[in-house]
Structure 1
Amino acid sequence: MSQAIASRPLVSLAMPETGAARLLTQGFLVLAGTLVLTLSAKTKVMLGPVDLSLQTLAILLIAACLGTRLAVATLLLYLAEGAMGFPVFQSTPEKGIGLAYMAGPTGGYLIGFVVMAAIAGYAADRGWDRNIVKLFGAMLVAEVAMMALGFGWLTVLIGTEKAWTFGVLPFIVPDLIKVALAACLVPAGWAALRGLGIAR
């Protein structure tokens, strides 16, 4: 197997090489990804006073499986759905919908999701999704980038101290756990496929 083929993300195993079938498959994967993101946003885990979703875990897994281009396309379509007023985000419709919601406290994190997908997908494109250590490092960078954008926008809205206290600090440990979980699941998936003779 060539290095180019070996470095493709997981989705390449089921992706037609060319033609309309490839485009249809890509479109289906992107649309399905937005559904997964919506479901993960609505799946809430209570950790003390903090209301967490599984969305960052879903983003990391989608990016690692789809690669940069399809992962970013998935996140952009997801944001477009939200901008059009579909209740795809964690606190919609109860806390607003559309662009008004996106300009609120979560706006920086939403933009950060795209950056997160790009970084994790970039790692998968280079074959790092086979190595737990490399993938964890890339996903950690993706997580920090997302949190930095969220923190930056919150700082504009509510000030630095409150942004750190309410927008970053409660999420550090839970998000580290999600990064570690994603970094373990994807290489484990590759190992299982190799064991079945489906991948190398």
Structure 2
Amino acid sequence: MDLLKTNTIQKVLKTFILIFIGTMALTVSAKLKIPFYPVPMTMQTFVVLFLGIAFGYKIGLASVAVYLLEGILGMPVFSNSPEKGIGIVYFTGPTMGYLIGFLFASFFAGYLNLNKNIFIIFGKLIFSVSVIYVFGAIWLGTLIGWDKPILQLGVTPFLLAELFKICLLAILAKQIIKFRKFI
């Protein structure tokens, strides 16, 4: 009985540690701006997909959810916070759709079987990251109006950077999945 209790406690503790590591990685990835064309790039979407692949869909999704909760509660974890606001005010701004899309992208990256060839992995990662942009574009259009060029404002400038990040993840995916067995 004590062994079962000890194993359960260890598993819960390990899960909390992994979620904490995930939220810290997301925070750091949101704050670092990498010069890129046509707009500076953060590594947030890379980390969102990485968390799903490395930790599995449950812990990856939990990491993103806790990260979003931290931001909603006012911790300056989001990109451009605290400069452009914090908490629910920042969350409900132009990036809310993308942030909600992070939940689904991390889930799909962790849930979809990525033990295939690199082209199938690439396609699944494209699908996963596309969910972010679908939610982002829908929210952006709702917020600023559908008469504006939503795709040119909220999707197109980021596509080259996303392609770079997805190619990198597709190459690393099998090694990342092997890592999952140790956690």
TM-score, length-normalised on structure 2?
A: 0.88
Please report how far the alpha carbon of residue 84 of structure 1 lies from its aligned counterpart in structure 2 after TM superposition: 0.7
**d(CA) in 2 for partners of 1:180, 1:114:** 21
Question: 1:135: how far off?
Answer: 2.1
- Which ranges of structure 2 fall in alignment gaps of 5 or more residues? 1-5
Q: Does 1:163 align with 2:143?
A: no
Q: Deviations over 1:119-176 (max 9, x none)?
A: 00102xx4x2464233222111111111000000001122344321121011112101
Question: Please, which of 4, 8, 17 is the counterpart of residue 28 of structure 1?
Answer: 17
Question: Paired residue for 1:183, among 167, 170, 174?
Answer: 170
Show the counterpart of 1:3: none
* Counterpart for residue 83 of structure 1: 72
The residue aligned with 2:159 is: 172
Partner of 2:3: none
The aligned residue for residue 109 of structure 2 is 120
TM-score of the pair, normalised by structure 1: 0.81
State the match for 1:45 in structure 2. 34
Using a 3 Å threshold, how does the CA distance of structure 1 residues 99 and 129 change in structure 2: closer, same or farther?
Answer: farther
What is the Cα deviation at residue 180 of structure 1?
A: 1.4
Unaligned runs of at least 5 residues, structure 1: 1-16
Aligned length: 175
Aligned CA distance change for structure 1 residues 190 and 29 (closer, same or farther; 3 Å): closer
